Amino acid sequence: MEERGGCNNNKSSSSSSSSPKGKRDDIYHVLHKVPFGDGPYVRAKHAQLVDKDPEAAIVLFWKAINSGDKVDSALKDMAVVMKQLDRSEEAIQAICSFRSLCPKQSQESLDNKCGKIDEQIELLKRKLKLIYQGEAFNGKLTKTARSHGKKFQVSIKQETSRLLGNLGWAYMQKMNYIMAEVVYRKAQIIDPDCNKACNLGLCLMKQARYEEAQLMLEDVLDGKLPGSDDGKSRKRAQDLLTELRSLLPAPYLSDILALDDEFIKGLEQMMNQLGQVRSKRLPIFEEISSFRDQLAC
């Protein structure tokens, strides 16, 4: 009886998996191209593809990025939605800021989503030129911006520093580290933050200027910059420091290079003393050899 009951249970579970409701769910996901699951990324895709609500989709994509739910896919899909809303510059900013959280195999596709690097550089330069000419913000001191799905006020100074930070990252992609450093340093003078400090540290590492990079990253960990209390920024600074230390020469090499003049002088004195001891013994050996000559005669 128990075996028969178990058999019935298996039949019922098998029939439930192939029930009309299960088939309808499969058809729904295939038809609307919405992935399975119930995380922020899936809800964002539902808002984008089913509800046709791009603003809600962007908010949910931000939630997915911040929670680590399919970050690379969320970042790319959010950039597409932002471009549809004529918010291309915001899409570029998001990709530049969060692409470090994505795997290496996703980097090329992220470049495609935000356009060619040269186009990004020209776009950012044009925006900076408008600020320099006093034509940005329609003559106002602040403007309304969006980030992580929220609206807030941005000053001219903050916008200039942000654009310079994005320009610095674009130069990093071109491996023009000298220009990237110049731009990052200007951005930090105008409105410093830990994200640009990490990027500047990476830029200095690329130039093998490890001591300067270490000081920059330690400023983040020591809480000397705005945003240093952010866990993600601190983790990134720590990861970069770990990578930096792996690039440093072996300790024994640095010890040899650090030998001072006093040590060298002491080494020379010791060698001279050894030479003097050897010379003092020479007459003894000469006497012995002459005595042997007399015996031979």
Residue 106 DSSP symbol: G
pLDDT over 80 at 69, yes or no: yes
Whether the Cβ atoms of residue 57 and residue 76 lie closer than 8 Å to each other: no
Stated pTM of the model:
0.56
Instruction: Tell me which amino acid residue 247 is.
Output: L
Query: pLDDT value at position 13?
Result: 44
**Bridge partners of residue 150, in order along the sequence:** 147
> 91-97, long-range: CB within 8 Å, 24+ apart, which pairs?
92/120, 92/123, 92/166, 93/162, 93/166, 96/165, 96/166, 96/169, 96/170, 97/195
8-50 residue pLDDT tens: 444 444 444 455 545 455 554 444 455 666 788 888 888 888 8
CA R_g for the chain: 34
Query: What DSSP line would sit under 169-180, residue for residue?
Result: HHHHHTT-HHHH
Q: Does residue 207 or residue 142 have the better pLDDT? A: 207
Average confidence (pLDDT) over 278-287: 48
Identify how many contiguous H helices and E strands the chain contains and give both numbers.
Answer: 15, 2
**Rounded to an integer, what distance in angstroms lies between the CA atom of residue 47 and that of residue 141?**
35
Instruction: Tell me which amino acid residue 248 is.
Output: L
Nearest to 83 by CA among 73, 94, 96: 94
148-198 residue pLDDT tens: 556 778 888 998 998 999 899 889 988 999 999 999 999 999 999 999 999
Of all residues in the chain, what percent are helix, strand and coil, respectively (each to 5)?
75, 5, 20
Residues whose CB falls within 8 Å of the CB of residue 273, separated by 6 or more in sequence, listed in order: none
Whether the Cβ atoms of residue 203 and residue 182 lie closer than 8 Å to each other: no
pLDDT over 60 at 286, yes or no: no
Query: pLDDT value at position 136?
Result: 80
Q: Does residue 112 or residue 78 have the better pLDDT? A: 78
**Rounded to an integer, what distance in angstroms lies between the CA atom of residue 109 and that of residue 75?**
11
Residues whose CB falls within 8 Å of the CB of residue 166, separated by 6 or more in sequence, listed in order: 92, 93, 96, 120, 124
**Rounded to an integer, what distance in angstroms lies between the CA atom of residue 236 and that of residue 240?**
6
